[in-house]
């Protein structure tokens, strides 16, 4: 038996669910001669002589259906094939790249298969498999994102179900509504849909207009000034939809009150201090191209696809570059929003992660991590021997007992790891009054803070990696109200009035996500574009470019001339 046939038998024996009847195109009363020859050709292929994407298509899609063609009948390309090819051409609206799906080369081959011709069975079969490979890739990108399982998705689980994709492609080949079936692959979250719609609008905007770039002399502008530079500033704000289109109101050559209002809105939407004046960072943001903004939206859509299609309950989401937390209901609507402080961009990055919140601690101790002890605490003790006492710290031994070494021994015992430092609950405690725990490999959590002044900063990457909350009591009430218990704000206030540590274990875990999105459509409809504070966007762009280059290379590999179909 041929290796491919053996593989099909093994697949039936060992692939979960393979015993169930797969969805296959109806064969009808007969197969035309061309399709029959193409089927025999596909059956004859050696999977070792084709590219990985073609091999996957042959093994997962065609084997269960007896190698029947999906995308043509009597040598004519089907309506479904044309519809899905159109969707792949329009994939930039979804933040994807048409070149990832062979758009540059399979269009001409589709035309070449229009006329039934008995000596074209190899070309017809090859086109069918190539289109199936492209559609499988497209469907996988929409469902799971482009980053494959072998590349870590920054803390998220990444499982691509090839059996699901194969069944989806077979259904797509016979559906009456290609667009609806494709849309079912995408996240249904309101934020994703808003951002996708904004991306589509921005792509149209890019085609309809040129862009104005501001000279550095715009930094000298003051409210009330007139002239060419003021006109350029108003023109740019109009292009970015912060002032009316010149088709409605002529562009003014004055930096007036309307300019100040528009500039302040622009600054708020871009994570800047809303001064209403053009400083260096505002000028830089104004000069970022629409093309770059399109890339930011596309990267956010990519990351959204890494998440589960749905959660058992509404999640808590921290968007790191926005310095903001949101809590959602089951439908994806925001129920709570607050400012947060995240890890320092220089050396204490907050991780991107997915975890489950399972308990809240009132009046928590802060167990100081070993690296903070060595890098910060030991030098502080050397400068001020009473530092620990003044800040409410105590020393704990390996036996978990409180230790009272002499002042001359403290440094040595901390350096050797014999003792560790923890901070007692109280007004000086770095975690504030409430700590939110969710087990994760990064050993981070969310908590209050004794430094409320940090929230006055616009850019808030100021922590050691954990997330500091502007209003931990509000989040605690929201979390506890999702439980079976009868917690409310008054009960929380009463429990916090007792200066004792209390552990509240949740009866229903709540998903917690730390995400990284620098471009998105907010709940109020505004577009937000933020600084890539951790440089993660740049890393993802590089990774995606590498994936696209590999895909284009694979798609260009010709079919093996050794694969010859038997005579009909």
pLDDT in tens, 337-384: 999 999 999 889 999 999 999 999 999 999 998 889 898 989 998 888
Return the structure tokens found at 194. 């808003």
DSSP calls for 22-38: PP-----S---HHHHHH
Q: Residues 489, 473: contact at Cβ < 8 Å?
A: yes
Residue 564's pLDDT is what? Answer: 47
Closest listed residue to residue 77, CA positions, set 37, 39, 118, 128: 128
Q: What is the pairing mode between strands 316-319 and 366-367?
A: unpaired
Contacts of 23 (CB under 8 A, 6+ apart): 167, 170, 171, 174
Could you say which DSSP state residue 525 is in? S
Residue 566's pLDDT is what? Answer: 45
Contacts of 310 (CB under 8 A, 6+ apart): 188
Instruction: Enumerate residue ranges in the chain where pLDDT < 70.
Output: 1-21, 26-31, 104-119, 149-152, 154, 157-158, 560-568
Q: Which H or E run contains 43?
A: helix 33-44
Q: What is the pairing mode between strands 502-515 and 316-319?
A: parallel
* Helices assigned H by DSSP within 436-517: 472-481, 489-496
Contacts of 46 (CB under 8 A, 6+ apart): 2, 3, 4, 560, 562, 563
Q: How far apart are CA 315 and CA 220, in angstroms?
A: 46
C-alpha dihedral sign at 236, 240, 243, 249: positive
Q: What is the pLDDT of residues 433-471, one digit of tens each?
A: 999 999 998 999 999 999 999 999 999 999 999 999 999
Q: Residues 329, 567: contact at Cβ < 8 Å?
A: no
CA dihedral 141→143→145→151, nearest 10 degrees, is -100
Residue with tokens 């552990």: 503
Residue 11's pLDDT is what? Answer: 38
CA atoms within 13 A on the CB side of 430: 18
Q: How far apart are CA 294 and CA 92, in angstroms?
A: 9
Contacts of 332 (CB under 8 A, 6+ apart): 188, 189, 190, 191, 314
Q: How far apart are CA 141 and CA 147, in angstroms?
A: 8
């Amino acid at each position: 038996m041929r290796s491919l046939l053996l593989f099909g038998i093994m697949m039936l024996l060992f692939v979960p669910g393979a015993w169930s009847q797969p969805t296959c195109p109806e064969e009808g009363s007969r197969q035309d001669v061309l399709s029959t020859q193409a089927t025999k050709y596909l059956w004859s292929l050696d999977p070792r002589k084709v590219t990985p994407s073609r091999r996957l298509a042959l093994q997962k899609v065609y084997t269960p259906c007896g190698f029947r063609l999906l995308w043509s009948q009597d040598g004519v390309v089907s309506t479904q094939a044309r519809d899905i090819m159109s969707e792949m051409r329009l994939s930039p609206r979804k933040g994807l790249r048409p070149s990832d799906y062979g758009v540059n080369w399979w269009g001409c081959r589709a035309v070449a298969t229009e006329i039934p011709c008995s000596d074209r069975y190899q070309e017809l079969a090859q086109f069918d498999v190539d289109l199936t490979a492209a559609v499988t890739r497209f469907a996988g990108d929409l469902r799971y994102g482009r980053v494959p399982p072998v590349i870590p998705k920054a803390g998220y689980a990444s499982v691509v179900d090839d059996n699901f994709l194969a069944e989806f492609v077979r259904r797509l080949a016979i559906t009456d509504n290609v667009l609806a079936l494709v849309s079912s692959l995408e996240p249904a979250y309101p934020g994703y849909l808003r951002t996708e719609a904004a991306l589509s609008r921005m792509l149209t905007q890019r085609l309809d207009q040129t862009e104005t770039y501001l000279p550095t002399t715009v930094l000298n502008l003051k409210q009330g000034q007139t002239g060419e530079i003021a006109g350029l500033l108003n023109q740019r704000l109009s292009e970015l939809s912060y002032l009316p289109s010149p088709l409605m109101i002529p562009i003014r050559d004055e930096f007036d009150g309307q300019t100040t209002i528009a500039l302040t809105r622009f600054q708020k939407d871009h994570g800047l201090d809303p001064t209403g004046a053009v400083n260096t960072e505002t000028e830089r943001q104004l000069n970022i191209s629409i093309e770059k903004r399109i890339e930011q939206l596309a990267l956010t859509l990519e990351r959204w696809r890494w998440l589960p299609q749905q959660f058992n309950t509404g999640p808590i989401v921290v968007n790191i570059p926005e310095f903001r937390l949101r809590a959602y209901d089951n439908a994806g609507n925001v129920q709570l929003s607050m400012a947060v402080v995240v890890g320092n961009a220089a050396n204490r990055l907050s991780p991107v992660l997915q975890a489950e919140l399972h308990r809240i601690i009132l009046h928590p101790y802060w167990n100081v991590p070993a690296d903070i002890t060595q890098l910060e605490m030991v030098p502080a003790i050397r400068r001020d021997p009473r530092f620990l006492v003044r800040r409410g710290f105590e020393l704990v031994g390996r036996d978990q007992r409180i230790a009272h070494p002499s002042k001359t021994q403290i440094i040595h015992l901390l350096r050797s790891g014999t003792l560790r430092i923890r901070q007692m609950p109280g007004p000086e405690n770095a975690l504030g009054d409430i700590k939110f725990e969710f087990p994760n490999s990064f050993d981070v959590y969310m908590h209050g803070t004794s430094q409320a002044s940090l929230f006055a900063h616009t850019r808030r990457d100021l922590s050691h990696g954990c997330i500091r909350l502007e209003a931990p009591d509000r989040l605690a009430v929201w979390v506890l109200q999702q439980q079976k218990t009868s917690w409310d704000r008054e009960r929380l206030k009463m429990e916090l009035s007792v200066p004792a540590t209390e552990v509240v274990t949740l009866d229903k875990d709540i998903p917690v996500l730390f995400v990284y999105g620098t471009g998105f459509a907010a709940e109020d409809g505004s577009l937000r574009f933020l600084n890539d504070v951790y440089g993660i966007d740049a890393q993802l762009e590089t990774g995606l470019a590498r994936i696209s280059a590999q895909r284009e290379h694979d798609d260009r590999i010709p079919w093996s001339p050794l694969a010859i179909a038997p005579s009909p």
